[in-house]
Amino acid sequence: METLTNSHSGAKAGKRFRLTVKSAEEAVRVIREKLGDKARVLSVRQVGGEGLKKFISSPKLEVIAEIPSEDLTDDSLSEEKSNIEPPKPTAGTTATEDSTLLEPSLVGESLQSAVSENETPGAVSIESDSFKILAKTGFDSQLLSDIRSWSNWTEIKDLSLAESLKEITIGLSDRFRSLNILPTEDRIALIGAPGVGKTTTLCKFLAHEVFMNKKTPNVLKVDNGIPNPDDALRIFCEVVGVTLFRESNKTPDSSEESPLYLDFPGLSLGQTDDWMQAQELLDDLNVQTRVLVLNSAYDKQVLNKSISLGNSIGATHLAFTHFDELSNSTKLWPLLLRNNLSPLCICNGQNVTGDFSTNVLNQMISRTFPEELYARGFSTYRNI
């Protein structure tokens, strides 16, 4: 048996061919173009993808077709039907009509009868397994558990995949908007563990204040008993016209038009004393806005520990860095919705003057569902 290709136009009678198509209509067109109107379909079965693809790719049809001999009679057709074995299902496939041989007939009739009861093979199972698909494509298990506790869960679970995504998007957006978002004061400290991107985030803030908000911020570089070099930050401040201070008693009075930003050294997650000392200094300097900077790519256990330590020293806001390194943002939703920290900004990449957004909701929604799902036509729900 051969796979039907472009070279098979005008093929000889009696030969059988296999082709894989997306729909019955496509099979009818291809077979008639290559084999002619008299070609017969011997079997049709549904073929799914392998591994993860079987959850996120549309199923296809494998069709076995034959060009009958001119002297083939109805009796010989019936006899031939009983002697032909249908293709055996392979791993990961689901057979239409249990993969039994369809009644040999002209191509259009046999294919249409094979799929007439379900124009999109496999659609029912996909719609009923929406949450299994989300889990398979990397959706955070904690967020799925939270969604199951929603009051409208019984309605969501029976919806199609597309409608489920829509309702989840609406639910997450509503819960985000219900958060108590604190405004920022004129003294803003960026705190967090080493390597999370505090200084880069500070530079993004400064660029935003200078170029977008037309303000004149100042920066205080804090040591707090831990080495905190200022070479890179000093150069950046000189470029954008911001004054950098190393001593708190020399900083000018802060105001709405001239806010003071404090750059702390990295605080080790294993050294609680470092965090307590930072809290004492923040209290002494009367810093009300305390932004906990988190690396989005870090493990959830690390993120949760950072939040716990941040809460212990009075953190008020959250800033997420390395957001572009996430395949999806679902693991961050529980952090936003379960903690009393106001989401402040999302940072992508290392560009100190760009890739910065204070529209956290839009950024979160745009990266919530895996790209494989959007590729299937659900992008209309991105910005609900």
Tens of pLDDT along the chain (384 residues)?
566 666 566 556 678 888 888 777 677 778 878 887 778 777 777 776 554 444 445 567 788 888 776 654 444 444 444 444 444 444 433 333 333 334 334 444 445 444 443 344 333 333 346 778 888 888 898 999 999 899 998 888 888 888 888 999 999 999 999 999 999 999 999 999 999 999 999 999 999 999 999 999 999 999 877 766 767 889 999 999 999 999 999 999 999 999 999 999 999 999 999 999 999 999 999 999 999 999 999 999 999 999 999 999 999 999 999 999 998 999 999 999 999 899 999 998 777 766 889 999 999 999 998 766 655 544 444 444
Same domain, 229 and 274: yes
Same domain, 154 and 251: no
Same domain, 150 and 44: no
What is the pLDDT at residue 1?
59
Same domain, 243 and 324: yes
Domain assignment present for 305: yes
C-alpha span between 107 and 39 (Å, rounded): 6
C-alpha span between 165 and 381 (Å, rounded): 7
Same domain, 35 and 173: no
Same domain, 61 and 134: no
Residue 299 is classified by DSSP as -
What is the pLDDT at residue 125?
37
Domain assignment present for 89: yes
- The edge-to-edge listing of strands for the beta sheet with 40-47 is 2-3, 16-21, 60-66, 40-47, 105-106
Domain boundary among 71, 104, 119: 119
Please report, for residues 9, 15, 207, 272, 357, the alpha-carbon distance to residue 213 in angstroms, rounded to integers and kept in the order given.
Answer: 68, 74, 9, 36, 13
- In a 3-state reduction of DSSP, which class is residue 262? strand
Tell me the CATH number at 316. Answer: 3.40.50.300
Domain assignment present for 182: no
Same domain, 133 and 108: no
What is the pLDDT at residue 55?
45
Domain boundary among 158, 177, 196: 177
What is the pLDDT at residue 201?
94
DSSP for 115-168, please give it. HTT-SSTTHHHHHHTHHHHHHHTT--HHHHHHHHTSTTHHHHTTS-HHHHHHHH
Same domain, 64 and 147: no
Strands 105-106 and 40-47: antiparallel
Domain that holds residue 38: 2-119
C-alpha span between 155 and 163 (Å, rounded): 10
Contact (CB, 8 A) for 102 and 43 = yes
Same domain, 302 and 200: yes
Same domain, 113 and 232: no
Contact (CB, 8 A) for 17 and 58 = no
Report the predicted TM-score, pTM, of the whole model to 2 decimal places. Answer: 0.65
Domain boundary among 92, 119, 146: 119
Instruction: List CB contacts of 336: < 8 A, sequence separation 6 or more.
Output: 176, 179, 318, 343, 360, 364
Same domain, 248 and 263: yes
Angle among Cα 328, 164, 347 to the nearest 5 degrees reads: 25
Contact (CB, 8 A) for 64 and 43 = yes
What is the pLDDT at residue 41?
78
C-alpha span between 43 and 97 (Å, rounded): 9
Same domain, 166 and 258: no
What is the pLDDT at residue 354?
67
Tokens for 54, please give them: 């079987």
What is the pLDDT at residue 52?
44
Residue whose structure tokens are 């009679």? 73
Q: What domain count does the chain have? A: 3
Helix residue ranges, H only, the chain: 24-35, 53-56, 74-83, 107-115, 123-128, 130-136, 141-148, 153-156, 161-177, 198-207, 231-240, 272-284, 300-312, 333-338, 360-366, 371-373
Most distant CA pair in the chain, distance: 104
Instruction: List CB contacts of 235: < 8 A, sequence separation 6 or more.
Output: none
Domain assignment present for 138: yes
C-alpha span between 107 and 101 (Å, rounded): 14
